Amino acid sequence: MRFNTQEGYIVFKPEEIAYLEADQVYTIIRTIDSRLHHVTVNIGKIEAMLERIVS
């Protein structure tokens, strides 16, 4: 999964994502290594992407 950030972009495998947190129109992704990443996609779109991958 590829997401735009303020610095450029970041790529994650779905299993690397520990949880998502809404931050206005952005989403904070916490990874399993406890790092935080602010991405420019709203949480609903990320949840839908994960649903398609898991299904």
Residue 54's pLDDT is 82
| Paired tokens of 8 | 């450029």
Question: 24 is in which domain, residue-wise?
Answer: 2-54
List helix spans (H) across 1-55.
43-54
This prediction's pTM: 0.87
Pairing of strands 17-23, 2-4: unpaired
Q: How confident is the model over 3-44, as pLDDT tens digits? A: 999 899 999 999 999 999 999 989 999 999 999 999 999 999
pLDDT at 49 over 90: yes
Element (H, E) at 39: strand 36-39
Q: Total domain count for the chain? A: 1
Instruction: Give residue 55's pLDDT band: very low, low, confident or very high (50, 70, 90).
Output: confident
Token code pair at residue 16: 């690397």
Residue 54 backbone phi and psi in degrees, to 5: -75, -35
